[in-house]
Structure 1
Amino acid sequence: MPKKFALIGAAGYIAPRHMKAIKDTDNELVAALDKNDSVGIIDSFFPDADFFTEFERFDRHIDKLHRANGGQAVDFISICSPNYLHDSHMRFALRSGADAICEKPLVLNPWNIDGLQEIEKDAGQKVNTILQLRVHPSIIELREKVQREQKSTKHEVDLTYITSRGHWYMQSWKGDEKKSGGIATNIGVHFYDMLHFIFGELQENVVHHSSDTMAAGYLEYEKARVRWFLSVDYKFVPESAKSLGQRTYRSITVDGEELEFSGGFADLHTRSYEEILAGRGYGLEDNRVAIETVANIRNADPIGLKGNYHPFLKTN
């Protein structure tokens, strides 16, 4: 029996991946919400889905389905709204009798997780999150390799992620730290979760530089020392990548060897949905370390070019 889904944030960049995942898993999107009405992408997946631009009407519709006879209640509400609204929309999903599936970052602050856990318990529903790198075959393989090693082993890791954004970025909610959580939260949270997933508990968190468009620092885990660099500024894309017409550059080296995981990204949302539908989805507590990491980065006082800083800071 197909599960019934609703989706909040249908006009967002990531929403089509959720629509595709719902379609790929043979389920049905019955309702969608976004204050913006540029959502023609829905026709490619679920042309019969009801659509709302006002939350109040969407709320009423979800409640009507919940109360209707004949099994019309929504089973899952997928959340693709701006970061600062995730907490509220997950609460809405749980109180509507549905499980939530939330995009990254789950919340902006770790104490929001505690409140959601209480509502989960009261409502008897669950929050699931998209931690798609945890289902990437290359990441799983590396994690298994690390777990087989001697406990005292510490790897040297360099993480570089540059995803160029135009002038629109700083004018949107993504450029507002109060709404997005800042650059480390908005584009880096998946990578911090991946590092924790592979290398164990976080032991140290140092920020070397932080601005609206660039951040860099040092993280130490049980089994790794990590120098990281994130930016949305095109000027940091290496010339080798620019010459190929690339505006994004992603590199993770472990002990000087490149971790090849550039492929396999297309279907990670579908894979995540499959795990959620099988009862193996990642929940609130699975997110805690990554959310604590980005919250601490956001609130830290950068120490400048001291200690084990990323090589990109030496050349820029």
Structure 2
Amino acid sequence: METRRWLYLILLVLMMMARGEGQLVENFYGSTCPKVEDIVSETVRTKIKQTNVTIPATLRLFFHDCFVEGCDASVLIASANGDAEKDAEDNLSLAGDGFDTVVRAKQALEKECPGVVSCADILALATRDVVFQAGGPRYQVELGRRDGLVSQKSRVAGNLPEAKFDLDQLNSIFSSNNLSQIDMIALSGAHTVGFSHCKQFANRLYSFTPSSPVDPSMDSNYASEIMLSCPQNVDPSVAVNMDPLTPVVFDNVYYQNLLAGKGLFTSDQVLFTDPASRPTVNDFASNPNNFNEAFKTAMTKLGRVGVKTGTEGEIRKDCTSFNPAR
């Protein structure tokens, strides 16, 4: 019986290792780079003073990184051939301010403790800091990720949630990353900050169905307002705020907007229109503390997805390029 119990424990550990989970710890750099969190926080504060775009740009960069290859900073790699992860169509709209935030923090950390802190951990910390500095909850970040060695444009398609997804499609792609429906709804709350280009939701305004060009789940006044900013055949660079009320504040107004039919994407509004997810939206809309706690839990779980630890991967010297082969 004792032997069987030990075999079970060993198997459990191996399974956790296979998933890339269970190996991150808070204060990972306590003895090797004790000022890491202060340095990243200061970089984020400086960057936000220059532009509020830093907030949604960094958040979105973290999500896109973790959903492809895991949280390993593979999305940061720049390729002269245009075949890296960031070159995929789904990533072309990632704002440069997110990348710049990580690069600046890395440069500062290389002066303080060269070759110690991974770009993947910097991105995770910077994401926590933009949320907090925008008024959202502060949470402890597990650390110890290493930077990935693969970044390919071809691996992106099909691995990111899309604006037209329904609830089943959302749950499917999130569950493939060990994230529950509640996690998915909480992480969707990140749309309380930031903006989107018109083409991502134009179908809800002009071609939803032959009999109803405007999505009937969208508030009619809200639809009219969005049409003014996003007329048909608008310049592709035009964008509108995801949250029309508090676009630079991290709060639970996103969920209140869904109750009012003011979700920008189909994948936003469906969280309220689908009875399976509506109770959670109602809860988060009326209880900001419940949203904050769920978001903290979901971000911690997201930060464990596909991580490289130990001797896997590397600690890049430059976040935008792999280390030279030895």
* TM-score normalised by the chain length of structure 2: 0.26
- Structure number with the higher helix fraction is 2
Q: Which has the higher contact order (CA 8 A, sep 6+)?
A: 2
- Structure number with the higher strand fraction is 1
